[in-house]
Amino acid sequence: MQIDVFTLVPHSFAWLTEQRPLATVLGTEIDLRLFGYRDTSPLASGQVDDSPYGGGPGMVLRVDVVAAALDAVYGGAPDHRVIALTPQGRQLDQAVVEELAAEERLTLLSARFEGFDERILTHLCSDAISIGPYVLSGGELPAMVLVDAIARLQPSALAEGSSAHETFSTEFDGGLEYPQYTRPPEFRGWGVPEVLLSGDHGRIDEWRREQSRERTAR
Ligand SMILES: C[S@@+](CC[C@H](N)C(=O)[O-])C[C@H]1O[C@@H](n2cnc3c(N)ncnc32)[C@H](O)[C@@H]1O
C-alpha cells in the first residue's frame, strides 16, 4: 500500500517512522512518502497560505498551492482517494481505518493555522476525515494517527493474531478487550484476578469473554 502525506512539516514524521509497527512494515507492506507544500509552491519564497477573504484571524492554506503539489507528484488529479484531515470530517473509527487500509493508494492532506481553502475540500479531495471532536493545531498528528492505525493492520506488523484480539476487533464483536495483567502477581496489595493464575484455560477464556462483554456494555 502506498500512503502519500502532504504537509507543511514533513520532518515531524521522523519519530513515527522509527516506531514499530510502522517501522516493521515500511518499505514492504507500506510505502510512505512525505511531501512538503513549500517545495512545489508556485508562489514566491515558498508561500503556502494567505489571509481569509472576508477578514478574520489566521491564515488559510491556498488551493493553488495544494493543486500544484498534487500536480507535481501525480501529474494531475490522482485516481485514488485523497483525504483531507479536518475536524469537520467524517469521524475516524476502526471500521473507517479498515476501509482505508483496504485501498492500494491513499493521499492524506494536512493543513495548519485556519485550515484549508474550501475549494481544496470540494474539488481536490474525495474524503474528509476527523480523528475526533476536538481541534488540533495541524493535520500532522491526525495523519500519523491514521498511518499508525493502518500499519497495525498489515499482516507482518504485529505478532501473529494480536491485532485480531484487540478492542473493536470481530473477536470481541466490535467491543472492548478484556483487562490485561502481568508480573508481579501482587503489588502494594493490588492483586491479579485468581482465575488468570489458575492455569485453567477454559476458565480464563470464559472470564475474558465475560469481562469483554461487561466493559463493552458499560
Ligand atoms: C486549527 S485547525 C483548523 C480548524 C478550522 N479553522 C475549523 O475551525 O474547523 C488546523 C488544521 O489541523 C488539522 N486538524 C485539527 N483538528 C483535527 C481533527 N480533529 N482531525 C483531523 N484534522 C485536524 C486540520 O488539517 C486543520 O485544517
C-alpha cell at 106: 491513499
Q: Closest by alpha carbon to 153, among 106, 210, 218?
A: 106
105 to 3, 4, 97, 101, 187: CA distances (angstroms): 6, 8, 14, 9, 48
**121-172 confidence digits (pLDDT tens):** 999 999 999 999 999 999 999 999 999 999 999 999 988 767 778 899 888 9
Distance (Å, rounded) from C-alpha 192 to C-alpha 182?
8
| Beta carbon of 130 within 6 Å of any ligand 1 atom | yes
**Is 104 exposed, middle or buried (CB count within 10 Å of its CB: 0-12, 13-18, 19+)?**
exposed
Q: Which residues contact 190 (CB under 8 A, 6 or more apart)?
A: none
Quick: pLDDT tens for 49-58: 999 999 999 9
Q: Which of 191, 89, 93 is nearest to 136 (CA)?
A: 89
Give the pLDDT of residue 162: 72
pLDDT score at 25: 97
The span from the CA of 113 to the CA of 6, in Å, is 15
Query: Given ligand 1 and candidates 83, 85, 131, which is best to mutate, with the most ligand atoms within 8 Å of its CB?
Result: 85
Ligand 1 centroid to 94 CA: how many Å? 20
- Predicted local confidence at residue 114, as pLDDT: 96
DSSP 144: H
What is the Cβ-side half-sphere exposure of residue 176, based on CA atoms within 13 angstroms? 12
| Residue among 121, 136, 140, 147 to mutate when testing ligand 1 (max atoms within 8 A of CB) | 136
Q: Report d(CA 136, CA 158) in Å as an integer.
A: 29
pLDDT at 161: 66
Q: Output phi, psi for 8, to 5 deg.
A: -85, -15
Low-confidence ranges of the chain (pLDDT < 70): 161
Q: Which residue has the cell 505478532?
A: 159
Contact by Cβ (8 Å): 122, 128: no
Q: What are the phi and psi torsion angles at 31 (to 5°)?
A: -105, 105
C-alpha–C-alpha distance, residues 198 and 172, integer Å? 23
The reported pTM is 0.94
Q: Is the dihedral of CA 110, 30, 94, 103 positive or negative?
A: positive
Query: Does the beta carbon of 83 sit less than 6 angstroms from any atom of ligand 1?
Result: no
